[in-house]
C-alpha cells in the first residue's frame, strides 16, 4: 500500500472522488496534490474531526516529542488538545512575518499559557527562515526518541515548516503539499530528516466556518495576507459603521478599535445610519475591556473598552472573542 508523498493518503486508482486517487499507480503523488501544486486548485475533502482525534490519541500513547504549531494570525482554542496529548511539547508560534515587526515577542510568548506539558516556546516564520536554526536545536535537545510529531490546527503551517526543515537540514528531495486552503494533509507522513530524526506530519484539526472556504478566488487573494499587517486604528466618538468588503460590518458608538486584517482589504467608515450589508448574519456581542473579535480565516479586531457591539458577518463564517493578543 503506497501513500501519496504530498498528503499521506493511500494511493488508489478505483475512485476519482476519494482521497489518494491517481490514474497511474506508478505515480508517487495523488491527483489532488498534483492539482494543488500545479494549478493552485483544491477539491474540498470531507473529513471528520474524529479521524483527527484518533491520530492525536495514538500520538498521546507514545512518549515522543510533539511540536504544536500555531498560526499567530489565526489561532483557536489549544486546550482542546490536552485531553489527548500528555507528551512533552515545544510550542511553535509561526507566521511571525505577518505580525507588526515592533511587537514584544516576550509578551506573545507569555500570552500562550497552556495547561499542557510545554517544555519550551518559540516564535518562528517558515517563510522568512526566522528562528528555524534555534528550533532545530531545541528539537534535538528535547526529543526523546527518533520520532517527533508535528500537530496543530489546519492551515497552521505544519507542512510548510517541515518543508523548510527538509530544505535546510536534510538531503531529501521530496516535499509535502501545502496550500492556503484548509485540509491539505490527509494522513500522517514520515519525513526521515536523518538517521536520528524522523519528523511526522499530521492532518490539522478542523474549525467550522473558515471564511477562506466561503469566498471566491478573487476575494481569497485579498484576504490572505502576504506580508506584515499594518494595524488600522480608529477612534469612535459617535454612532459609526465599519464595512469590510462585502462580508463584515461593525456598528460601534464610543470606543477605540484596531483592525488586524490583510492590508489589501478595504475598510469603509460611515458616520450615519446605513443599510450596507444589513442582510448578513447579525450578532449582538458583549465585549470586555481589551478583547479581540477573531473572525475565522480573516484576522481580528481589537476593541479597547467594554461595549455592546453589533456585528454583521457573511453567513457560515465563525468567530470568537478572546483576551486581546497584541
Ligand X SMILES: Nc1nc2c(ncn2[C@@H]2O[C@H](COP(=O)(O)OP(=O)(O)OP(=O)(O)O)[C@@H](O)[C@H]2O)c(=O)[nH]1
CB-nearer residue toward Mg ion: 147 or 255: 147
CB-nearer residue toward ligand X: 53 or 304: 53
Residues 169-208 that bind Mg ion (CB under 5 A): 184-185
b/e 242-268 (16+ beta carbons within 10 angstroms → b): bbbbebbbbbbeebebbbbbbeebeee
Nearest-10 crossing angle of helices 132-142, 158-169: 90
Q: Smallest gap, in angstroms, from Cβ of residue 77 to ligand X?
A: 16
Work out the number of other CB atoms within 10 angstroms of the CB of residue 237: 9
State the residue for C-alpha cell 536523518.
Answer: 194
Strand stretches in 11-164, DSSP E = 65-71, 89-94, 118-123, 147-152
Q: Smallest gap, in angstroms, from Cβ of residue 174 to ligand X?
A: 15
b/e 67-93 (16+ beta carbons within 10 angstroms → b): bbbbbbbbbbebeebeebbebbbbbbb
State the residue for C-alpha cell 469612535.
Answer: 236
CB-nearer residue toward ligand X: 184 or 291: 184
Interface ranges with ligand X (CB under 6 A): 94-95, 97-98, 125-127, 152, 154-160, 178-180, 182-185, 203-204
Measured CA to CA, the distance from residue 120 to residue 226 in angstroms comes to: 28
Q: Which does 164 bind (CB under 5 to 8 A by kind): Mg ion, ligand X, none?
A: none
Spatial contact of 201 and 158, defined as CB atoms under 8 Å apart: yes
Give the length of the chain: 326
Angle at 207 between CA 203 and CA 210, to 5 degrees: 110
CB-nearer residue toward ligand X: 42 or 87: 42
CB-nearer residue toward Mg ion: 163 or 296: 163
**Residue closest to ligand X when measured from CB atoms:** 204
Q: Smallest gap, in angstroms, from Cβ of residue 107 to ligand X?
A: 20
Q: Which does 291 bind (CB under 5 to 8 A by kind): ligand X, Mg ion, none?
A: none
Binding status of residue 291 toward Mg ion by CB under 5 A: no
Q: Smallest gap, in angstroms, from Cβ of residue 153 to Mg ion?
A: 11
CB-nearer residue toward ligand X: 183 or 324: 183
Q: Smallest gap, in angstroms, from Cβ of residue 1 to ligand X?
A: 21
CB-nearer residue toward ligand X: 10 or 285: 10
Q: Smallest gap, in angstroms, from Cβ of residue 152 to ligand X?
A: 6
Q: Which does 179 bind (CB under 5 to 8 A by kind): ligand X, Mg ion, none?
A: ligand X
Residues 151-170 that bind Mg ion (CB under 5 A): 158-159
Strand stretches in the chain, DSSP E = 65-71, 89-94, 118-123, 147-152, 189-194, 197-201, 232-236, 240-244, 248-252, 255-260, 267-270, 281-287, 291-295, 299-303, 307-313, 319-323
Q: Which does 74 bind (CB under 5 to 8 A by kind): Mg ion, ligand X, none?
A: none
Q: Smallest gap, in angstroms, from Cβ of residue 192 to Mg ion?
A: 18
Q: Which residues bind Mg ion (CB under 5 A)?
A: 158-159, 184-185
Amino acid at each position: 500500500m503506497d501513500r501519496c508523498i504530498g498528503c499521506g493518503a493511500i494511493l488508489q486508482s478505483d475512485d476519482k472522488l476519494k482521497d489518494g486517487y491517481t490514474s497511474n499507480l506508478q505515480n508517487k503523488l495523488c491527483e489532488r496534490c498534483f492539482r494543488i501544486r500545479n494549478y493552485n486548485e483544491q477539491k474540498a475533502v470531507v473529513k471528520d474531526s474524529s479521524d483527527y482525534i484518533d491520530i492525536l490519541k495514538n500520538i498521546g500513547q507514545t512518549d515522543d516529542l510533539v511540536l504544536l504549531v500555531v498560526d499567530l494570525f489565526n489561532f483557536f482554542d489549544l486546550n482542546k488538545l490536552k485531553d489527548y496529548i500528555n507528551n512533552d511539547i515545544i510550542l511553535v508560534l509561526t507566521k511571525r512575518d505577518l505580525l507588526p515587526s515592533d511587537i514584544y515577542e516576550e509578551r506573545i510568548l507569555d500570552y500562550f499559557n497552556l495547561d499542557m506539558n510545554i517544555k519550551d516556546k518559540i516564535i518562528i516564520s517558515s517563510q522568512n527562515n526566522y528562528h528555524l536554526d534555534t528550533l532545530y536545536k531545541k528539537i534535538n535537545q528535547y526529543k526523546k526518541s527518533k520520532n517527533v510529531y508535528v500537530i496543530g490546527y489546519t492551515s497552521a503551517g505544519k507542512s510548510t515548516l517541515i518543508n523548510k526543515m527538509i530544505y535546510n537540514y536534510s538531503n531529501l528531495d521530496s516535499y509535502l503539499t501545502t496550500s492556503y486552503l484548509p485540509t491539505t494533509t490527509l494522513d500522517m507522513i514520515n519525513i526521515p530528516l536523518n538517521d536520528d530524526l524522523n519528523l511526522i506530519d499530521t492532518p490539522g484539526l478542523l474549525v467550522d466556518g473558515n471564511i477562506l472556504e466561503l469566498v471566491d478566488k478573487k476575494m481569497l487573494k485579498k484576504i490572505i495576507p502576504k506580508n506584515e499587517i499594518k494595524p488600522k486604528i480608529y477612534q469612535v466618538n459617535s454612532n459609526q459603521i465599519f464595512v469590510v468588503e462585502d462580508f463584515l460590518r461593525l456598528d460601534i458608538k464610543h470606543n477605540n478599535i484596531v483592525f488586524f486584517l490583510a492590508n489589501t482589504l478595504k475598510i469603509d467608515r460611515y458616520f450615519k445610519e446605513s443599510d450596507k450589508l444589513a442582510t448578513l448574519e447579525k450578532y449582538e456581542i458583549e465585549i470586555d475591556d481589551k478583547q479581540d473579535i477573531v473572525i475565522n480565516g480573516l484576522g481580528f479586531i481589537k476593541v479597547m473598552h467594554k461595549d455592546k457591539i453589533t456585528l454583521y458577518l457573511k453567513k457560515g463564517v465563525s468567530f470568537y472573542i478572546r483576551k486581546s493578543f497584541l
